[in-house]
Protein backbone atom coordinates (compact mmCIF):
# COMPACT_ATOMS: atom_id res chain seq x y z
CA UNK A 1 0.00 0.00 0.00
CA UNK A 2 1.26 3.46 -0.85
CA UNK A 3 1.71 6.15 1.77
CA UNK A 4 -1.74 7.52 2.74
CA UNK A 5 -0.17 10.97 2.85
CA UNK A 6 -0.41 11.07 -0.97
CA UNK A 7 -4.04 12.06 -0.51
CA UNK A 8 -3.01 15.43 0.89
CA UNK A 9 -3.56 17.14 -2.48
CA UNK A 10 -7.25 16.29 -2.41
CA UNK A 11 -7.94 19.35 -0.29
CA UNK A 12 -5.82 21.66 -2.43
CA UNK A 13 -7.06 24.54 -4.53
CA UNK A 14 -5.45 22.90 -7.57
CA UNK A 15 -7.67 19.82 -7.31
CA UNK A 16 -10.79 21.87 -6.73
CA UNK A 17 -10.10 24.03 -9.78
CA UNK A 18 -8.77 21.55 -12.35
CA UNK A 19 -11.19 18.75 -11.50
CA UNK A 20 -8.60 15.97 -11.34
CA UNK A 21 -7.84 13.49 -8.57
CA UNK A 22 -4.49 12.22 -9.77
CA UNK A 23 -5.22 11.14 -13.35
CA UNK A 24 -8.96 10.73 -12.77
CA UNK A 25 -11.74 13.26 -13.29
CA UNK A 26 -12.04 16.06 -15.80
CA UNK A 27 -15.01 17.22 -17.85
CA UNK A 28 -15.58 15.29 -21.08
CA UNK A 29 -18.76 16.98 -22.26
CA UNK A 30 -20.28 18.53 -25.40
CA UNK A 31 -19.35 22.14 -26.06
CA UNK A 32 -22.88 23.22 -25.15
CA UNK A 33 -22.24 22.11 -21.56
CA UNK A 34 -18.60 23.15 -21.19
CA UNK A 35 -19.31 26.82 -20.61
CA UNK A 36 -22.19 26.09 -18.25
CA UNK A 37 -20.03 23.77 -16.14
CA UNK A 38 -17.21 26.33 -16.06
CA UNK A 39 -19.65 28.94 -14.77
CA UNK A 40 -20.96 26.48 -12.19
CA UNK A 41 -17.41 25.78 -10.99
CA UNK A 42 -16.68 29.50 -10.70
CA UNK A 43 -19.87 30.15 -8.73
CA UNK A 44 -19.27 27.12 -6.50
CA UNK A 45 -15.79 28.35 -5.55
CA UNK A 46 -17.14 31.84 -4.88
CA UNK A 47 -19.95 30.44 -2.73
CA UNK A 48 -17.50 28.42 -0.63
CA UNK A 49 -15.76 31.70 0.28
CA UNK A 50 -18.99 33.64 0.89
CA UNK A 51 -19.78 33.73 4.58
CA UNK A 52 -23.43 34.58 3.96
CA UNK A 53 -23.81 31.48 1.75
CA UNK A 54 -22.04 29.28 4.28
CA UNK A 55 -24.12 30.62 7.15
CA UNK A 56 -27.33 29.94 5.24
CA UNK A 57 -26.13 26.42 4.41
CA UNK A 58 -25.40 25.74 8.08
CA UNK A 59 -28.81 27.08 9.07
CA UNK A 60 -30.66 24.66 6.77
CA UNK A 61 -28.43 21.72 7.70
CA UNK A 62 -29.15 22.34 11.36
CA UNK A 63 -32.80 23.41 11.42
CA UNK A 64 -34.19 21.69 8.30
CA UNK A 65 -32.06 18.56 7.89
CA UNK A 66 -31.55 18.01 11.62
CA UNK A 67 -27.76 17.92 11.80
CA UNK A 68 -25.58 16.86 13.45
CA UNK A 69 -26.65 13.25 12.93
CA UNK A 70 -25.85 11.03 15.93
CA UNK A 71 -22.92 8.64 16.23
CA UNK A 72 -24.45 5.57 17.88
CA UNK A 73 -22.57 2.74 19.60
CA UNK A 74 -24.16 -0.47 18.27
CA UNK A 75 -23.47 -2.63 21.32
CA UNK A 76 -25.27 -5.84 20.34
CA UNK A 77 -23.94 -5.79 16.79
CA UNK A 78 -20.47 -5.02 18.18
CA UNK A 79 -20.67 -8.02 20.50
CA UNK A 80 -21.69 -10.33 17.67
CA UNK A 81 -18.89 -9.13 15.37
CA UNK A 82 -16.22 -8.87 18.05
CA UNK A 83 -15.35 -5.20 17.58
CA UNK A 84 -16.45 -1.80 18.93
CA UNK A 85 -18.69 -0.40 16.21
CA UNK A 86 -20.36 2.99 15.92
CA UNK A 87 -23.00 3.86 13.32
CA UNK A 88 -23.06 7.34 11.79
CA UNK A 89 -26.83 7.79 11.65
CA UNK A 90 -27.45 9.50 8.30
CA UNK A 91 -30.72 7.55 8.25
CA UNK A 92 -32.03 10.03 10.83
CA UNK A 93 -31.69 13.03 8.52
CA UNK A 94 -34.84 14.63 7.13
CA UNK A 95 -35.90 12.44 4.15
CA UNK A 96 -34.05 9.45 5.64
CA UNK A 97 -30.64 9.49 3.96
CA UNK A 98 -27.41 11.41 3.43
CA UNK A 99 -28.63 12.77 0.08
CA UNK A 100 -30.28 15.82 1.64
CA UNK A 101 -26.88 17.26 2.67
CA UNK A 102 -25.97 17.65 -0.98
CA UNK A 103 -29.33 18.77 -2.31
CA UNK A 104 -29.61 21.60 0.21
CA UNK A 105 -26.21 22.88 -0.87
CA UNK A 106 -26.92 22.52 -4.58
CA UNK A 107 -30.36 24.13 -4.28
CA UNK A 108 -28.72 27.13 -2.63
CA UNK A 109 -26.26 27.25 -5.53
CA UNK A 110 -29.16 27.04 -7.99
CA UNK A 111 -30.91 29.93 -6.30
CA UNK A 112 -27.65 31.90 -6.32
CA UNK A 113 -27.48 31.34 -10.10
CA UNK A 114 -31.11 32.35 -10.64
CA UNK A 115 -32.30 28.91 -11.79
CA UNK A 116 -36.04 28.17 -11.57
CA UNK A 117 -35.97 24.41 -12.17
CA UNK A 118 -34.00 21.58 -10.60
CA UNK A 119 -33.49 18.31 -12.45
CA UNK A 120 -32.04 15.15 -10.94
CA UNK A 121 -31.39 11.48 -11.57
CA UNK A 122 -32.19 8.83 -9.00
CA UNK A 123 -31.82 5.08 -8.53
CA UNK A 124 -32.98 4.10 -5.05
CA UNK A 125 -35.12 7.21 -5.02
CA UNK A 126 -33.48 8.88 -2.02
CA UNK A 127 -31.74 11.55 -4.11
CA UNK A 128 -34.95 12.13 -6.02
CA UNK A 129 -36.87 12.60 -2.80
CA UNK A 130 -34.16 14.89 -1.41
CA UNK A 131 -34.17 17.01 -4.58
CA UNK A 132 -37.96 17.23 -4.62
CA UNK A 133 -37.84 18.22 -0.95
CA UNK A 134 -35.48 21.17 -1.42
CA UNK A 135 -37.33 22.24 -4.56
CA UNK A 136 -40.50 22.48 -2.47
CA UNK A 137 -38.59 24.29 0.27
CA UNK A 138 -37.25 26.97 -2.08
CA UNK A 139 -40.23 27.19 -4.47
CA UNK A 140 -38.46 25.64 -7.47
CA UNK A 141 -39.83 23.37 -10.18
CA UNK A 142 -38.45 19.83 -10.07
CA UNK A 143 -38.06 17.04 -12.65
CA UNK A 144 -36.61 13.68 -11.55
CA UNK A 145 -35.40 11.07 -14.05
CA UNK A 146 -35.62 7.44 -13.00
CA UNK A 147 -35.26 4.07 -14.70
CA UNK A 148 -38.60 2.29 -14.95
CA UNK A 149 -37.19 -0.80 -13.20
CA UNK A 150 -36.02 1.34 -10.27
CA UNK A 151 -39.38 3.14 -10.21
CA UNK A 152 -41.05 -0.26 -9.88
CA UNK A 153 -38.83 -1.55 -7.05
CA UNK A 154 -38.75 1.80 -5.24
CA UNK A 155 -42.42 2.72 -5.63
CA UNK A 156 -42.79 4.35 -2.17
CA UNK A 157 -40.12 6.92 -3.06
CA UNK A 158 -41.81 7.64 -6.40
CA UNK A 159 -44.98 8.49 -4.50
CA UNK A 160 -43.05 10.71 -2.10
CA UNK A 161 -41.51 12.65 -4.99
CA UNK A 162 -44.90 13.22 -6.58
CA UNK A 163 -46.41 14.30 -3.28
CA UNK A 164 -43.62 16.88 -2.95
CA UNK A 165 -44.59 18.31 -6.33
CA UNK A 166 -41.93 16.78 -8.57
CA UNK A 167 -42.51 15.43 -12.05
CA UNK A 168 -41.07 11.90 -12.28
CA UNK A 169 -39.92 10.96 -15.78
CA UNK A 170 -39.15 7.27 -16.27
CA UNK A 171 -36.97 5.70 -18.95
CA UNK A 172 -37.08 2.17 -20.37
CA UNK A 173 -33.65 2.45 -21.99
CA UNK A 174 -30.99 -0.16 -21.23
CA UNK A 175 -31.71 -1.93 -17.95
CA UNK A 176 -33.98 0.97 -16.90
CA UNK A 177 -31.82 1.65 -13.83
CA UNK A 178 -29.52 4.40 -12.55
CA UNK A 179 -27.13 4.60 -15.52
CA UNK A 180 -30.08 5.12 -17.84
CA UNK A 181 -31.57 7.76 -15.55
CA UNK A 182 -28.27 9.67 -15.64
CA UNK A 183 -28.23 9.48 -19.45
CA UNK A 184 -31.78 10.84 -19.58
CA UNK A 185 -30.99 13.66 -17.15
CA UNK A 186 -27.82 14.65 -19.06
CA UNK A 187 -29.77 14.64 -22.33
CA UNK A 188 -32.41 16.94 -20.86
CA UNK A 189 -29.70 19.19 -19.40
CA UNK A 190 -28.10 19.60 -22.83
CA UNK A 191 -31.43 20.54 -24.38
CA UNK A 192 -32.51 22.85 -21.52
CA UNK A 193 -29.40 24.74 -20.37
CA UNK A 194 -31.45 27.09 -18.20
CA UNK A 195 -32.19 24.33 -15.64
CA UNK A 196 -29.90 23.40 -12.76
CA UNK A 197 -28.76 19.77 -12.72
CA UNK A 198 -28.64 18.63 -9.09
CA UNK A 199 -26.37 15.60 -9.52
CA UNK A 200 -26.70 13.13 -6.66
CA UNK A 201 -23.32 11.46 -6.32
CA UNK A 202 -19.62 12.31 -6.55
CA UNK A 203 -19.55 11.33 -10.24
CA UNK A 204 -19.89 13.05 -13.59
CA UNK A 205 -17.94 15.94 -15.09
CA UNK A 206 -16.07 18.56 -13.10
CA UNK A 207 -17.10 20.36 -10.91
CA UNK A 208 -19.71 17.85 -9.67
CA UNK A 209 -17.35 15.41 -7.88
CA UNK A 210 -15.91 18.34 -5.91
CA UNK A 211 -19.32 19.91 -5.25
CA UNK A 212 -20.83 16.69 -3.92
CA UNK A 213 -17.70 15.90 -1.88
CA UNK A 214 -17.84 19.34 -0.28
CA UNK A 215 -21.52 19.15 0.66
CA UNK A 216 -21.18 15.57 1.98
CA UNK A 217 -17.96 16.29 3.92
CA UNK A 218 -20.12 17.36 6.86
CA UNK A 219 -20.47 13.62 7.60
CA UNK A 220 -16.75 13.14 8.11
CA UNK A 221 -16.26 16.36 10.05
CA UNK A 222 -19.01 15.46 12.49
CA UNK A 223 -17.91 11.83 12.82
CA UNK A 224 -14.36 12.90 13.64
CA UNK A 225 -15.50 15.26 16.39
CA UNK A 226 -17.99 12.73 17.76
CA UNK A 227 -15.61 9.77 17.96
CA UNK A 228 -12.92 11.87 19.65
CA UNK A 229 -15.50 13.01 22.19
CA UNK A 230 -16.85 9.50 22.77
CA UNK A 231 -13.61 7.48 22.76
CA UNK A 232 -10.82 10.01 23.09
CA UNK A 233 -9.11 8.67 19.96
CA UNK A 234 -9.56 8.20 16.24
CA UNK A 235 -11.17 5.01 14.93
CA UNK A 236 -9.11 2.15 13.57
CA UNK A 237 -11.51 1.57 10.69
CA UNK A 238 -14.13 3.30 8.54
CA UNK A 239 -16.60 1.43 6.35
CA UNK A 240 -19.16 2.77 3.86
CA UNK A 241 -21.02 1.47 0.84
CA UNK A 242 -19.92 2.81 -2.55
CA UNK A 243 -22.06 3.07 -5.65
CA UNK A 244 -21.29 6.47 -7.16
CA UNK A 245 -19.57 7.13 -3.85
CA UNK A 246 -21.10 10.20 -2.20
CA UNK A 247 -21.78 8.87 1.30
CA UNK A 248 -18.41 7.11 1.37
CA UNK A 249 -16.37 10.14 0.33
CA UNK A 250 -18.38 12.21 2.80
CA UNK A 251 -17.21 10.00 5.67
CA UNK A 252 -13.69 9.31 4.38
CA UNK A 253 -12.94 13.00 3.73
CA UNK A 254 -12.70 13.72 7.45
CA UNK A 255 -9.93 11.14 7.96
CA UNK A 256 -7.89 10.96 4.74
CA UNK A 257 -4.88 12.58 6.36
CA UNK A 258 -4.83 10.09 9.26
CA UNK A 259 -2.50 7.25 8.29
CA UNK A 260 -3.67 5.10 11.22
CA UNK A 261 -7.26 4.98 10.00
CA UNK A 262 -7.98 2.11 7.59
CA UNK A 263 -10.88 2.61 5.18
CA UNK A 264 -13.08 0.15 3.31
CA UNK A 265 -15.66 0.65 0.59
CA UNK A 266 -18.40 -1.97 0.07
CA UNK A 267 -19.39 -2.33 -3.57
CA UNK A 268 -22.53 -3.99 -4.87
CA UNK A 269 -21.27 -7.47 -5.72
CA UNK A 270 -24.55 -8.61 -7.26
CA UNK A 271 -24.67 -12.35 -7.92
CA UNK A 272 -21.65 -12.97 -10.15
CA UNK A 273 -18.64 -10.65 -10.01
CA UNK A 274 -16.58 -12.64 -12.50
CA UNK A 275 -19.47 -12.84 -14.93
CA UNK A 276 -20.24 -9.13 -14.63
CA UNK A 277 -23.69 -9.58 -13.09
CA UNK A 278 -22.36 -7.09 -10.59
CA UNK A 279 -21.93 -3.43 -9.70
CA UNK A 280 -18.40 -3.92 -8.29
CA UNK A 281 -16.82 -1.23 -10.46
CA UNK A 282 -13.48 -0.94 -8.67
CA UNK A 283 -13.14 -4.72 -8.45
CA UNK A 284 -13.96 -5.60 -12.07
CA UNK A 285 -13.86 -2.32 -13.98
CA UNK A 286 -11.23 -0.47 -16.00
CA UNK A 287 -10.47 3.25 -16.33
CA UNK A 288 -12.36 4.90 -19.17
CA UNK A 289 -14.39 8.01 -19.96
CA UNK A 290 -17.99 7.49 -18.87
CA UNK A 291 -20.75 10.06 -18.40
CA UNK A 292 -18.40 13.01 -18.49
CA UNK A 293 -15.51 11.85 -16.33
CA UNK A 294 -12.45 9.59 -16.50
CA UNK A 295 -12.70 6.90 -13.84
CA UNK A 296 -13.23 3.18 -13.41
CA UNK A 297 -16.21 1.67 -15.22
CA UNK A 298 -17.57 -1.80 -15.91
CA UNK A 299 -16.78 -2.44 -19.57
CA UNK A 300 -16.85 -5.26 -22.11
CA UNK A 301 -13.90 -6.54 -24.14
CA UNK A 302 -14.35 -3.67 -26.59
CA UNK A 303 -14.11 -1.12 -23.77
CA UNK A 304 -17.80 -0.16 -23.89
CA UNK A 305 -19.73 0.38 -20.67
CA UNK A 306 -21.90 -2.56 -19.68
CA UNK A 307 -25.01 -2.70 -17.53
CA UNK A 308 -24.41 -3.09 -13.80
CA UNK A 309 -26.49 -5.27 -11.52
CA UNK A 310 -27.14 -5.18 -7.77
CA UNK A 311 -30.09 -5.93 -5.52
CA UNK A 312 -29.53 -2.33 -4.40
CA UNK A 313 -30.89 0.32 -6.76
CA UNK A 314 -28.54 2.86 -5.17
CA UNK A 315 -25.42 0.79 -5.97
CA UNK A 316 -26.59 -0.43 -9.39
CA UNK A 317 -24.24 1.83 -11.39
CA UNK A 318 -21.32 0.83 -13.66
CA UNK A 319 -19.17 3.87 -12.83
CA UNK A 320 -17.59 5.33 -9.71
CA UNK A 321 -16.53 8.81 -8.61
CA UNK A 322 -13.02 9.79 -9.76
CA UNK A 323 -11.78 10.41 -6.23
CA UNK A 324 -12.57 6.81 -5.32
CA UNK A 325 -10.61 5.64 -8.38
CA UNK A 326 -7.65 7.66 -7.12
CA UNK A 327 -8.01 6.33 -3.57
CA UNK A 328 -8.11 2.75 -4.88
CA UNK A 329 -4.98 3.17 -7.01
CA UNK A 330 -3.01 4.80 -4.20
CA UNK A 331 -4.14 2.10 -1.77
CA UNK A 332 -5.61 4.62 0.65
CA UNK A 333 -8.99 2.88 0.56
CA UNK A 334 -9.66 -0.81 -0.03
CA UNK A 335 -12.82 -1.76 -1.92
CA UNK A 336 -14.52 -5.16 -1.76
CA UNK A 337 -17.65 -6.58 -3.40
CA UNK A 338 -20.51 -7.62 -1.13
CA UNK A 339 -22.89 -10.11 -2.71
CA UNK A 340 -26.65 -9.68 -2.76
CA UNK A 341 -27.29 -12.51 -0.31
CA UNK A 342 -24.71 -11.15 2.13
CA UNK A 343 -26.33 -7.69 2.07
CA UNK A 344 -29.83 -9.13 2.55
CA UNK A 345 -28.62 -11.14 5.54
CA UNK A 346 -27.01 -8.02 7.05
CA UNK A 347 -30.25 -6.08 6.44
CA UNK A 348 -32.05 -8.50 8.76
CA UNK A 349 -29.16 -8.81 11.20
CA UNK A 350 -28.93 -5.11 12.06
CA UNK A 351 -32.71 -4.84 12.25
CA UNK A 352 -32.93 -7.66 14.81
CA UNK A 353 -29.87 -6.70 16.85
CA UNK A 354 -30.22 -2.92 17.03
CA UNK A 355 -33.79 -2.05 16.11
CA UNK A 356 -32.45 -0.12 13.12
CA UNK A 357 -33.64 -1.07 9.63
CA UNK A 358 -30.87 -0.01 7.23
CA UNK A 359 -31.20 0.82 3.57
CA UNK A 360 -30.08 -2.15 1.50
CA UNK A 361 -27.21 0.07 0.28
CA UNK A 362 -26.01 0.55 3.88
CA UNK A 363 -26.49 -3.16 4.55
CA UNK A 364 -23.59 -3.81 2.17
CA UNK A 365 -21.35 -1.89 4.58
CA UNK A 366 -22.80 -3.78 7.54
CA UNK A 367 -22.01 -7.08 5.81
CA UNK A 368 -18.45 -6.02 5.00
CA UNK A 369 -17.93 -4.98 8.61
CA UNK A 370 -18.89 -8.48 9.72
CA UNK A 371 -16.00 -9.84 7.67
CA UNK A 372 -13.16 -7.35 8.03
CA UNK A 373 -13.78 -6.63 11.73
CA UNK A 374 -14.54 -10.17 12.89
CA UNK A 375 -12.99 -10.75 16.33
CA UNK A 376 -10.48 -7.91 15.87
CA UNK A 377 -11.62 -5.77 18.81
CA UNK A 378 -11.08 -2.71 16.62
CA UNK A 379 -12.84 0.63 16.96
CA UNK A 380 -14.86 1.33 13.83
CA UNK A 381 -17.40 3.67 12.27
CA UNK A 382 -19.89 2.47 9.66
CA UNK A 383 -21.74 5.11 7.70
CA UNK A 384 -25.42 4.19 7.84
CA UNK A 385 -26.27 6.14 4.71
CA UNK A 386 -30.04 5.67 4.81
CA UNK A 387 -33.03 3.94 6.30
CA UNK A 388 -34.67 0.82 4.91
CA UNK A 389 -38.33 1.76 4.64
CA UNK A 390 -38.03 1.80 0.86
CA UNK A 391 -36.69 -1.77 0.84
CA UNK A 392 -39.36 -3.41 2.99
CA UNK A 393 -41.02 -6.42 1.37
CA UNK A 394 -38.45 -6.73 -1.43
CA UNK A 395 -36.52 -9.73 -0.10
pLDDT at 7 over 70: no
Choose the catalytic residue: 99, 179, 328, 390.
Answer: 99
Is the predicted pLDDT of residue 1 greater than 90, yes or no? no
Query: 99 an active-site residue?
Result: yes
Indicate which residue of 90, 121, 342, 361 is catalytic: 121
**How far from 333 is each of 17, 114, 218, CA to CA, in Å?**
24, 39, 19
pTM, two decimal places: 0.94
Q: Which domains does the chain have, with CATH numbers?
A: 23-61+99-209 (3.40.50.1100), 67-97+217-391 (3.40.50.1100)
d(CA 43, CA 36): 11
CB 343 within 8 A of CB 350: no
DSSP letter at 67?
P
- Do 297 and 31 touch, CB atoms closer than 8 A? no
Query: pLDDT tens digit string along 120-131?
Result: 999 989 999 999
Mean pLDDT of 280-296: 97
Residue 48 burial (CB count, 10 A) = 16
Cis peptide before 68 (omega within 30 of 0): yes
Q: What's the pLDDT at 11?
A: 47
Q: Taking 90 as the threshold, does the pLDDT of residue 15 lie above it?
A: no
Per DSSP, the three-state class of 393 is coil
∠ CA 208-53-26, rounded to 5°: 15
Q: Is 193 helix (H, G, I), strand (E, B) or coil?
A: coil
Residue 323 a catalytic site member: no
Question: What residues contact residue 64 under an 8 Å CB cut-off, 6+ apart?
Answer: 94, 104, 137
User: pLDDT tens digit string along 324-347?
Assistant: 999 999 999 999 999 999 999 999
The residue from 69, 78, 295, 385 that is catalytic is: 385
Amino acid sequence: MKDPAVSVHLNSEKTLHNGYFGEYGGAFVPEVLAGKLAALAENFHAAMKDQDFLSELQYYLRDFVGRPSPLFLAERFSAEVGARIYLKREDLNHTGAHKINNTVGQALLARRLGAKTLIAETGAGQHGVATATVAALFGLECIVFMGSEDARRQAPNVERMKLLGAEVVTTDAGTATLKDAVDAALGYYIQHPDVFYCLGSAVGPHPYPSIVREFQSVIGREAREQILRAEGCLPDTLIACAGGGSNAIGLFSGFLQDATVTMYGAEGGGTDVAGLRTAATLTRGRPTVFQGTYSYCLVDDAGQAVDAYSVSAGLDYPGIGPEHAYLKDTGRVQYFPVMDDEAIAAFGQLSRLEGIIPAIESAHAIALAGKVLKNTGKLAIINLSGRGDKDMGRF
